[in-house]
Amino acid sequence: MQLKKVLLAMSMATGVFAAQTALAGEDITLEFVVWNYSLDTIQDNIKIFEAKNPGIKVNLTDYTWTDYQDSLILRFRSNTQTDVIYGGQDWLPAWASAGFVAPLNDIAPPDELSALSDDIAGFALSDMTVDDELYGLPYYADTISFIYNKKILDDAGIAVPRTWEEVTAASLKLQASGMERPFVYELNQELPNFFDAFVAQSYGRGAELFDADQNAVFADPENGAYKQLEWLADAYSQGLIQPETHESKIIPAMNTGNHAFTVVYNYVLAALNNSATQPLAGQFALALMPGAENSTLGFSKFYAVTAKTAADPERAEAAWKFINFMAGGDYTIAKRWAVEKGLGFGQLPLYDDSDVIEAWGKWVDVSTLNQQAATAKAGVWTEWGGVWSAYFRPLLAKAMVGEATVDEVMQEGAQRWNELKEQFANR
Amino acid sequence: MWTIKRFPLLWLLPALLPVLLMTLYPIGHALWTSLHRVMILFPGEPFVGLDNYKRVMASSYFYDALKNSLVFTFFAAPSVVVIGVLVALFLQRRFFGSQIVRSVVLLPWVLPGAISAVLWIWVFHPSFGVLNAILRSLNIIDRSIPWLISPQLAPISVTIAHVWTQIPFAVILTMAALSTINSETLDAAALDCRSSFKRFRYVLFPEIRSMIVVLLVYNSLIAFTGYDLVYAMTSGGPGTATTLLSFQIWRESFSMYDFGAGSAVAFIVVLISATLIIAITRALPSDLFGGDEP
């Protein structure tokens, strides 16, 4: 009898719960996956979106930058619900080819998407496009820059270097006066930006790593990329370089006053010059990438939708609303990232925004930045690029630390590139 | 009648099934993967026989990783055993605070590998590291030592971190083995032999040698398959200086999107590990684990 009463109570409770669930309406919860930069800002943006879009919830999942790519691969292969993601220009061709992500045309009204595309900077648009299909809208777009400590150079009577030879001369002079390793460098062969930084430096010399047919040409000793790797290996052997495993360690390292130069993303300069947290804030400046052409790598990270979500009309509509909110509309969110965090942007109207110009003027010489951005070039990203980069990065590191010669590394890297190119062509 | 004596396998199934599911199935699937082309960027998963094995073994990365793993195991495993035994012998003594010391000794073992790695990065960091700071303050060095960024020093740094994490387990097992020794034997040895070294060599070591062998085999396997410290401390670098085979498995699978090659490396690791165990156990005296005949 007692058991019957308990069973009856449980069934009634279950019925009430089910009814409540049905009455609550069916909110869509989008799974938004990011790397863990400024999560509080993202969460705040999500709250604003949810307030404006009743019926759509956004659940945020984050991974560290170092784990992001393989965590996404695991999610895709295990069919874990993933709706909107941060994407990277180096991963996009492979992910598009594998069917993990869908073109925005699949979820966005064509006229809206076209209007937004017209507002995107060239190198950013190129990074988000595969086979003439646009796969994302910019989360942020940036260039990789050469950054130096103004005070250290002024005190030492050193002019801002314009070539890599001048960087060596300046570093040797600083080393002779007691600075152990003047150049702090993000050396983490498992990070895609380790290769990006090398490309940026090579572009400074006016080099192209691949020809118009996407054949590797950097194994030629006369190629600027070859020369840049020789420069890096030479600088390392002379003890001029202090490697750090992540940009977050470059910020405190530069703020010790023990290093004069680095090559990082522009938003790191904003962090370096943050007077609220950094003791040497205000001493750091951007210079044009050393080399004959002073060009650099421009790139874009973006919001993308997964193919699985694009195939579900309800989720696709919610995903487009979210992506449009975060990267489109009146660019409020992109502007927020730029003003509050110094993140670069791919949305052209923001270049003329007075709030952005005023905020950026506090940590960078905007005219130099614009000059650098004007010469920035997009990278060469292919389906096999990510696989090849993972293969080539440890070789780059080997050459830098003297475990292999530059020629061995460049020859092996070029050979592997050409092998993969053929393999993918015959797929 | 349903008694345990009848249908023994049926009674074991509830315990066996999860074990089979969590061991045999993944191993079997990994073996299948190693014999197929499983690359997420290529359609289908065709059978390719031993092609994955041939490809990984033709790569310079594989030989760098193999050499590093063997050298790492050669130095790390005996170090753990030797230091663990010495610490255990020390902790056998009674002194003020010995219980607290025993608890502290266990701490490295309870820390996750990633946390240990972060801790040791702050010891070995060239600019902010404790070790360089101490050496500078003692005027032993005037330039910071690149513990984690020199291809020669980075493997030593990772080895030291690894040994530190594994010592507690060796201490526990050795102390357990020491506790089984008859106290009268120890008393007699103390009377008959003044030399601590001789007491250890002729009395203690014969009693605990089987445990030492077990520790050696166990730590060889742990060192050979080590992954977390390398991943967190050096990402296998600089270059390939600290790339171990287990790290190469990860790189092939998740960086180069080639799960077939990653599985092939995994099975090569299994084969080498098995060879190591067989070689070690065959080198042992046949009576090592046997009891005294009546």
DSSP for B34-103 reads HTB--BTTSSS--B-TTHHHHHHHTSHHHHHHHHHHHHHHHHHHHHHHHHHHHHHHHHHS--TTHHHHHH
Of B240, B254, B258, the CB nearest to A403: B240
Residue A17 binned pLDDT confidence (cut-offs 50, 70, 90)? low
Interface predicted TM-score (ipTM): 0.80
> Tens of pLDDT along B146-170?
898 889 999 999 999 999 999 999 9
Q: Quick check: B240 and A394 CB within 8 A?
A: yes
Q: Report the percentage of chain A scoring pLDDT > 70.
A: 94
Spatial CA neighbour of A375 closest among A288, A256, A267, A255: A288
Q: Residue A70's pLDDT is what?
A: 83
**C-beta separation of B225 from B246 below 8 A:** yes
Q: Residue A7's pLDDT is what?
A: 66
Residues of B in Cβ contact (< 8 Å) with A235: none
Q: Residue B82's pLDDT is what?
A: 96
Q: Quick check: B239 and A398 CB within 8 A?
A: yes
Q: Report the percentage of chain A scoring pLDDT > 90.
A: 79
Q: Quick check: A397 and B239 CB within 8 A?
A: yes
Residue B198 binned pLDDT confidence (cut-offs 50, 70, 90)? confident
Choices 1.20.140.10, 1.10.10.10, 3.20.20.540, 3.40.190.10: CATH for A28-141+299-360: 3.40.190.10
Q: What is the mean pLDDT of chain B?
A: 88
> Tens of pLDDT along A20-73?
444 445 789 999 999 999 999 999 999 999 999 999 999 999 999 888 988 998
- Asked whether this chain's domains A28-141+299-360 and A144-297+380-425 adopt the same fold, the reply is yes
Q: Residue A35's pLDDT is what?
A: 96
DSSP string computed for B155-194: HHHHHHHHHHHHHHHHHHHHHHHHHTS-HHHHHHHHHH--
Residues of B in Cβ contact (< 8 Å) with A387: 41, 255-258
The answer on pLDDT for A107 being more than 60 is yes
Cα of A311 to nearest chain B Cα, Å: 20
Structural domain A144-297+380-425, CATH architecture: 3-Layer(aba) Sandwich (3.40)
The answer on pLDDT for B292 being more than 50 is no
> Tens of pLDDT along A367-382?
999 899 888 999 999 9
Q: Where are the domains of chain B?
A: 59-282
> Tens of pLDDT along B60-98?
899 999 999 999 999 999 999 999 999 999 988 888 888
Choices 1.10.10.10, 3.90.550.40, 1.10.3720.10, 3.40.50.720: CATH for B59-282: 1.10.3720.10
Q: Residue B2's pLDDT is what?
A: 54
Q: Residue A9's pLDDT is what?
A: 61
Of A94, A190, A404, the CB nearest to B235: A190
Q: Quick check: A427 and B239 CB within 8 A?
A: no
Q: Where are the domains of chain A?
A: 28-141+299-360, 144-297+380-425
The answer on pLDDT for B20 being more than 50 is yes
Of A253, A258, A403, the CB nearest to B151: A403
Q: What is the distance between the alpha carbons of residues A339 and A345, in angstroms, rounded to a whole number?
A: 11
Q: Residue A6's pLDDT is what?
A: 62
Q: What is the distance between the alpha carbons of residues A307 and A322, in angstroms, rounded to a whole number?
A: 16
DSSP string computed for A182-205: -EEEE--TTSHHHHHHHHHHHHHT
The answer on pLDDT for A100 being more than 60 is yes
> Tens of pLDDT along A269-319?
999 999 999 999 999 999 999 999 999 999 999 999 999 999 999 999 999
The answer on pLDDT for B294 being more than 50 is no
Distances (CA, A) of A196 to A380, A385, B87, B247: 11, 12, 48, 23
Q: Residue B293's pLDDT is what?
A: 46
Residue B277 binned pLDDT confidence (cut-offs 50, 70, 90)? confident
**C-beta separation of B83 from B258 below 8 A:** no
Phi, psi of B150 (to 5 degrees): -95, 130
